Amino acid sequence: MKKQELINSALKAKEMAYVPYSKFRVGAAVLTEEDKIYTGCNIESASYTPTNCAERTAIFKAVSEGYKNFKAIAITGDSEYTFPCGVCRQVMREFSKDLTIYIVKNQNEYKEFTLEELLPYSFGPEDLIEDIIKDGKDEI
């Protein structure tokens, strides 16, 4: 079952987290429309700003391999239930308005949400003015 495989992949990815400063590990696994799973963990930096979340690591890995349409993502962290930050929610929205999100406590316990539930009234690519997108112009 892909859902359980996705959850297990996120739990395994959490173990790879590089978190020498916060000590707070997060793992994520994203499922493409083609049923491929890409994983990611959070990766910290001493200067903090370049730190990357697990969700974005997984999504960026998939995008870098040519996959841009996603069905689901599983996220797990060192707290009971770890939800994605606002930046990660916006990145998810960039690639899938109808994403299913599993917030994972452990292998058998998780909560299921839609992206719409976690990011209502979101802004996405279709909200940009069509002529600007087509022409590459930055004026209206």
46 is in an annotated binding site: yes
Sort 12 into a burial class: Cβ within 10 Å, 0-12 / 13-18 / 19+: middle
48 is in an annotated binding site: yes
The answer to whether 67 and 38 have CB atoms below 8 angstroms apart is: yes
SS3 106: coil
53 is in an annotated binding site: yes
54 is in an annotated binding site: no
**Residue 139 annotated in active site:** no
106 is in an annotated binding site: no
The DSSP letter of residue 128 is S
Out of 15, 55, 80, 126, which one is annotated catalytic? 55
Binding annotation for substrate: 42-48
Q: Residues annotated in the binding site, as ranges?
A: 42-48, 53, 85, 88
Q: Which residues are annotated as a binding site for Zn(2+)?
A: 53, 85, 88
Residues serving a catalytic function are 55
